Amino acid sequence: VSEGDVSEGDVSEGDSMSIEPVIYVVDDDTDSRESACALVGQMALKVQAFASAEQFLATYNGHRPACLLTDHRMLGMTGVELLERLRGSGVTLSVIVMTAYAETELTVRAIKSGAVTLLEKPFSDTALWNAIHDALAEDREQFVKQSRIDRIQTHLQSLTAAETDVLNLV
């Protein structure tokens, strides 16, 4: 299990499927973090571990496809606060929230904030695999959408004033 950056160059829409996905695990409990990493490792997926939300935010570089598996109850920023911070910054990374204390209010907040799902600890290998599979599929879709939007915005910004006038008339 490694901690730190994942490098990525320019990625086109077609390339997004060929890049190795990364599963980021954020949990302040060492045993829980190592257990989650071991399960992800058994799935033959690349994993990076972080002991805090703050540590993850300091090193995340936008690598896609990926998903974030975060515990909710942590010292400092909680998992849902991390999710909300990402969404507030425009980051659409797929997020799975884990908790040993699944309360209705927490579940609703996590889902409304954009979590793919909330897993209650202890969870089965199958539940984790299904959640990660769904999260990676969602992340790939979000990546393709964002790539299209970025390309359109680049094209729009390259228009001359006259071309922009014509576009506005259309």
Mean pLDDT by 10 residues, the chain (170 residues): 35 51 96 93 93 96 91 94 94 93 88 93 91 94 85 89 87
Q: How many CA atoms lie within 13 A of 123 on its CB side?
A: 27
**Tell me, what's the pLDDT at 131?**
96
**Tell me, what's the pLDDT at 18?**
56
Residues contacting 101, CB < 8 A, separation 6+: 72, 73
Both structure tokens of 140: 């790939």
**Tell me, what's the pLDDT at 149?**
85
Both structure tokens of 79: 């998992």
**Tell me, what's the pLDDT at 30?**
95
Model pTM above 0.85 = no
Nearest to 64 by CA among 86, 34, 43: 86
